[in-house]
Amino acid sequence: MAVPSFVDQVRLHVVGGRGGHGVASVHREKFKPLGGPDGGNGGPGGSVVLRVDPDVTTLLDYHHTGSRKAEHGGQGAGGLRNGSHGADLVLPVPDGTVVTDAQGEVLADLVGPGTELVVAEGGRGGLGNAALASSKRKAPGFALLGEPGEERDISLVLKVVADIGLVGFPSAGKSSLIAALSRARPKIADYPFTTLVPNLGVVQAGDVTFTVADVPGLIEGASDGRGLGHDFLRHVERCAALVHVVDLATLEPGRDPLADLDVIEQELASYGGLEDRPRLVALNKLDVPDGRDMADIVIDDVRARGWDVYRVSAASHEGLRELSFAMARIVAARRAATPVVAPERVVVRPTPVRGGGPEFTVTQITVETGAGWRVRGEKPERWIRQTDFGNDEAVGFLADRLNRLGVEARLVSMGAVEGDSVLIGDPQNAVVFDFKPGLDAGAAEMLGRRGEDHRFAEDRPAAQRRRDIDEAMPERGETETRADVARRLGES
């Protein structure tokens, strides 16, 4: 199977990197076995970024491999060491790439070298137990998990960015014309639809340098999808001006230069959005027999439509200088009227779920076990993703957070009773709890506040032994050490 050299439309599945997990760690050193929590935070995951690269002219790199994933963030470590940041995955795209989501909504139109779009942001890293410590929770025995990165399907559609677009019937000589005007070397042959992809050429006329796009040949019905239809027409949307390349030597029955102009104009009008583009007309193939006579016959009718007309020959280069300077004048005027736009970095973020309350919503549902309730909201769903459900203390911490947010009070006010199922999160991947109102986990865990380590309490046996030894040290013998005093007190 032939490998395409030009691809202007692809689908991609992009995934941001997962944030690294936080770590629960306790500082230890000689004579200080319990130095407090020192678990570091996880690093954020890398993002998937689209960046306009002027050296890239096709989406071929994404044609066969339609999935891209950024690097995960590093896990935290003891000693207050935070995890490394996951590297961003930068995907170079051509200038003029339009990005849409799975529903067809346009996310961004990437125009201008260096313009960036973050299509899948990396997940946040989880907090270590050092960051979770407070005056009431001196030694948390848990840490938060890193969040998964954003995941989405996108479509990339290239609309060639050129200053001038050459349009016309197949075999009108557009490829020959762009080859004569620039150093581009498109495929040229004596049969229709030789050009299957747009060709770009750089033309210099005086002090103005501009690009010309050789758009593949249009036919009647192209705006309705006939031939390659919209695959061709979308490449003229960004052009500052259109040049009709008219074939003076066509031998097809029913065709003449004026009829060709009418057909192409009708297709451009049906496609829409091109009415304000200036038009030039290039009567091509003056070098063929009867070419000059045909140009003399139609030139006045074309001028009557208000268009500038140029007689040219791509083979002999006759009239090309005048045509190139006419295109340069249009391009210079367009550039002078267009403000310079600096490259920008655009971050696409999903719209947060908002309902009757500022933080979350609660709706009643029916589940297999009977009554049920669904809780949706940015904070509750994020807290669910951060919780290690294999750690009872972490689960209790989640319960306290939800309680402080007002979830339990809202459920009670809406009629929830003990034993009802409470689902938090996306319907496809929700976490289910059995509702148990009236329990403040922060005051019930381990007969003390969650996260408090009873080994730090002053009334524990080890602390009492240290106080007894300190009181006996002034009365010790001259040769007694602290260990001897501890041994003597232990025997008594």
Amino acid at 488: R
- The answer to the question of whether 48 is labelled as a binding residue is no
Q: Residue 492 annotated as binding?
A: no
CA proximity to 280, closest of 246, 322, 308: 308
Q: Identify the three-state secondary structure at position 442.
A: helix
461 assigned to a ligand binding site: no
Question: 437 labelled as ligand-binding?
Answer: no
Q: Is 155 annotated as a binding residue?
A: no
Dist CA 480 CA 432 (whole Å): 62
286 appears as a binding residue in the annotation: yes
Dihedral-angle region of residue 176 (phi above 0 means left; psi in -120 to 50 means alpha; beta otherwise) = alpha
Is 170 annotated as a binding-site member? Answer: yes
Residue 174 assigned ligand-binding role: yes
Q: Is residue 109 part of an annotated ligand binding site?
A: no
Query: Do the annotations mark residue 361 as ligand-binding?
Result: no
C-alpha to C-alpha distances, 113 to 338, 346, 374, nearest whole angstrom: 16, 14, 46
State yes or no: 434 annotated in a binding site. no
Residue 118 counted as an annotated binding residue: no
Q: Annotation-wise, does 194 bind a ligand? A: yes
Q: Which of 426-435's residues contact partners 24+ apart within 8 Å by CB, and which partners? A: 426/381, 427/374, 430/374, 431/384, 431/389, 435/373, 435/411
Is 47 annotated in a binding site? The answer is: no
Query: Known binder of ligand: residue 175?
Result: yes
Is residue 66 annotated as involved in ligand binding? no
67 among annotated binding-site residues: no
Burial pattern 425-444, b for ≥16 Cβ within 10 A else e, equals beeeebbebebeeeeebbee
Q: Is 45 annotated as a binding residue?
A: no
What residues have CB less than 8 Å from 33, skipping those under 6 apart?
none
- CA 155, 161, 166, 167 torsion-angle sign: positive
* 171 annotated to bind ligand: yes
Residue type at 274 in one-letter notation: L
Q: Answer yes or no: is 141 a known binding residue.
A: no
Does 423 appear as a known binding residue? no
Q: What helix, strand, coil percent values describe the chain, rounded to 5?
A: 30, 20, 50
Query: If you count them, how many residues does the chain have?
Result: 492
Q: Is 433 annotated as a binding residue?
A: no
Q: What is the Cα 431 distance to its own chain's centre?
A: 28
Residue positions in the annotated binding site?
A: 168-175, 193-197, 214-217, 284-287, 313-315
Residue positions in the annotated binding site for Mg(2+)?
A: 175, 195
Residue positions in the annotated binding site for GTP?
A: 168-175, 193-197, 214-217, 284-287, 313-315
